[in-house]
Copies of this chain bind each other. A is one copy, B any other.
């Protein structure tokens, strides 16, 4: 595949197609709609399933159904639509069927607006819906990374029979950037050991999240938690820049992390020992690496396009060792590098005026 200039939403759609998604179900919502529209065109061309659902509630339950049949299935939406899917998420996680969901986040709460935002962090990373579990959440910061993580999302979903979110925002969804698609993956049958395909020559397969007996449900939860522990231990991903000798590390995911990169470079140019840490997995949060950094740096500056959500994970990872401060913009306002630079500079000055940390 050649490098092409692609819009994030379209890239996400096409990457899913390359990854062998066999069924897409969705409902229009800005700033995600191009993803759905691309699927509306491409999936029928390829003889795959596309249904514009009557709502996000229906869409996620269609995904649930298709995934029960053992195929790669997905939906995409934006914040209010994601809220409507919470019950479905919980069923999917409890049933351990692999599903992929793209959230192109927008300004909230409520109807809010259609500008980029990162304020679904909590509802995606804590427990999407009721019950005890975390979905895997992958946050790209570029169109290329969106493509790469889309493929990874399906692989992780299948590997762990789990729900995986690709967490973008309006900016990534709307941005055009050169990027390269992976080769088209052949469609293979998966999950014959549990998928619903008809009980032909075998005992019936059943997919349910019902466990009326409390000890049985506790056992299910223990199994889930054991799986999540493995994911937690093995799937933490992050990227960093200029952290080697950094005294101050800026932490930001997705768009905020990428914008911060420019601010960090600027600060470096002005002689400040500043680095950038960008979580790629929001859950599992890359706390191992961040904890290690906490031993080295004097402070973290968390930058988010919300009022401070991931900061909790940073504080947990930092474990009270170093101060964690925050810079955020909300409601669809995208921070510019200049303002992040100012926040870095102010904090850095404060650090300089304090006794150095051993």
Contact = CB atoms under 8 A, between A and B. Distances in A.
A122 B111 contact: no
A257 to B, nearest CB: 18
A330 B94 CA distance: 13
Contact of A129 (B92, B109, B114): B109
A188 interface: no
A83 interface: yes
Interface in A21-57: 57
A167 to B, nearest CB: 12
A142 interface: no
Please tell me the size bucket of the interface on A: 35 or more
Given A86-B123, A127-B123, A312-B316, A215 B331 contact: yes
A288 interface: no
Contacts of A79: 130-131
A112 B130 CA distance: 10
Interface in A84-134: 84, 86-87, 89-95, 105, 107-115, 119-120, 122-123, 126-127, 129-133
A218 interface: yes
Given A94-B108, A218-B332, 7 more contacts: A107-B211, A110-B209, A122-B122, A122-B126, A123-B126, A214-B333, A217-B330
